[in-house]
Amino acid sequence: MSNLNPPRRLLFGPGPSQVAPRVYEAMTKSIVGHLDPFFFEVYEDVRTGLRAVFGTQNSFVQVISGTGSAGMEASVANFVGPGQKLAVFVGGFFAGRIAEMGERHGATVVRFDMPLGEAATETQATEFLNRERPDVVAFVHAETSTGVLQDPLAITRPAHAIGALTISDCVTSIGALPINVNAAGIDVAFGCTQKGLSCPPGLSPITLSDAAVEHLRARTKPSSVWYMDLKLLLEYYEGAHRYHHTAPITSFYALREGLALVCEEGVQNRFDRHVRMHQEFVRRIEAAGFRMFVTDPARRITTINAIHVPDGVDPVKSRKALVDKYGIDIGGGYASLANKIFRVGLMGPLATMENVDMLVDAMVECIQ
């Protein structure tokens, strides 16, 4: 076999995002065993950093060995099951995935479907939840497939008013946008490492409110997915460190270093930087004649910009031209939005004025 030599890309898509050299370097460090005391020291550093980016002091902050979809599966498997009703606010592809998981775990799933590009209002959520009276309510904080940012309180306030637990997909927001889990009324929040945290994919941070922990400990029937059983994971990561699975040690090294970079910059400073670069990108791209897919600026994700494909433009050829000429990788649309939008990520190391200048110039040249 020849030497591995992947092409160099500038990852301006919706994820994975660009990884900092310091994070790559951390992954070259010596591996220790998954029960070694040093690994659990690393794990505690990770938990401390995750509290900062989740905006929480929850005691339950853990990491699932798996991508963001594993965090989604863990959230559903541990809190949703037969005999329960799950309400899902669906405004894109990934909220639809939560609904599908709920059905597979035997729950009665009811959906509040929103037009693509829009978010739910508190009035809409209140009316829907008062009518359906679900046990659990799920939504996506930042919907990767559309670029829409959902106000959590618009859903969590009416959900808690009827005694429901809330689950939020924070895959696209963690590390780049404020979540403020407790103030936002989120009981179960899960994320990923390969977007706003600018680490390689492979881990899914998760945090639970005290109410969610009480619900978890009160379960008499185990989770339907052994690998995602949060009770078992607690026995591994906390307390007796009872073996559960072989944790991906190098991925934890990477996450620790990625979180260190976030904290050194300052969490709020990082959020503010992403806002500034998003605003500058939108200003420049609209001045060039492009139209944003999400019309309400307050509902746009600052790190993933959804842009209409201009009339007469072949999006596949345009994206290929960006890769071939500049090594720039941007995303296309999913499902019903396929070939209708571009999804442009500005996250982590690439969210700088210099990169915005370069990216906009390249898009103007290649998208035609």
Q: Could you report the per-residue pLDDT of 180-208, keeping only the tens digit for each?
A: 999 999 999 999 999 999 999 999 999 99
239: pLDDT strictly greater than 80: no
The answer to whether residues 64 and 223 touch, using CB atoms and an 8 Å cutoff, is no
First CA to last CA across the chain, in angstroms? 40
Q: How many CA atoms lie within 13 A of 145 on its CB side?
A: 19
Around Cβ 317, how many Cβ atoms within 10 Å?
Answer: 12
pLDDT at residue 219, as a whole number: 87
Q: What are phi and psi of 213, to 5 degrees?
A: -65, -45
**Conformation bin of residue 197: beta by default, left when phi > 0, alpha when psi is -120 to 50:** alpha
Q: What dotted CATH number matches 10-15+267-366?
A: 3.90.1150.10
pLDDT (0 to 100) of residue 220: 86
Give CA 103 to chain center in angstroms.
22
User: Which of 55-59, 170-174, 234-238, 267-271 shows the lowest mean pLDDT across its residues?
Assistant: 234-238
Q: In this structure, are residues 155 and 187 in contact, taking their beta carbons and an 8 Å threshold?
A: no
- Do 10-15+267-366 and 21-262 show the same overall fold? no
Strands 136-140 and 108-113: unpaired
Give the distance from CA 29 to its chain's centroid.
27
**What phi and psi, each to the nearest 5 degrees, are found at residue 359?**
-65, -45
User: Which residue, among 268, 283, 273, has the nearest Cα to 351 in the 3D structure?
Assistant: 273
User: pLDDT tens digits, residue range 87-109?
Assistant: 999 999 999 999 999 999 999 99
Is this structure's pTM higher than 0.85?
A: yes
pLDDT digits (tens, 9 = 90+) for 50-81: 999 999 999 999 999 999 999 999 999 999 99
Mean pLDDT of 232-248: 83
Q: How far apart are CA 254 and CA 19, in angstroms?
A: 9
Q: What b/e sequence results for 27-43 when a residue is b if at least 16 CB atoms lie within 10 Å of its CB, and e otherwise?
A: beeeeeebeeeebbebb
Share of the chain above pLDDT 90, in %: 92
Q: How far apart are CA 185 and CA 149, in angstroms?
A: 16
Question: In whole numbers, what is the pLDDT of the chain averaged over residues?
Answer: 96
Q: According to the 3-state scheme, what is the secondary structure of the chain? A: CCCCCCCCCEECCCCCCCCCHHHHHHCCCCCCCCCCHHHHHHHHHHHHHHHHHHCCCCCEEEEEECCHHHHHHHHHHHHCCCCCEEEEEECCHHHHHHHHHHHHCCCEEEEEECCCCCCCCHHHHHHHHHHHCCCEEEEECEECCCCEECCCHHHHHHHHHCCCEEEEECCCCCCCCCCCCCCCCCCEEECCCCCCCCCCCCEEEEEECHHHHHHHHHCCCCCCCHHHCHHHHHHHHCCCCCCCCCCCHHHHHHHHHHHHHHHHHCHHHHHHHHHHHHHHHHHHHHHCCCCECCCCHHHECCCEEEEECCCCCCHHHHHHHHHHHHCEECECCCHHHCCCEEEEECCHHHCCHHHHHHHHHHHHHHCC
Mean pLDDT (whole number) for 213-242: 87
Rg (CA), the chain: 20
Give buried/exposed letters for 117-132 (b at 16+ CB in 10 A, else e): bbbbeeebbbebbeeb
**Fold entry, domain 21-262:** Aspartate Aminotransferase; domain 2 (3.40.640)
- Please say if the pLDDT value at position 235 is more than 90: no
Say how many CA atoms lie within 13 Å of 178 toward its Cβ: 12
Residue 270 pLDDT exceeds 90: yes
User: Which residues on neighbouring strands pair with residue 98, listed in sequence order?
Assistant: none
367: closest CA among 299, 313, 288? 313
10 touches 350 (CB < 8 A): yes
Asked whether the predicted pLDDT for residue 356 surpasses 80, the reply is yes
All structural domains of the chain with their residue ranges = 10-15+267-366, 21-262
pLDDT digits (tens, 9 = 90+) for 1-60: 889 999 999 999 999 999 999 999 999 999 999 889 999 999 999 999 999 999 999 999
Q: Contact at 8 Å (CB) between 335 and 287?
A: no
pLDDT of res. 359: 98
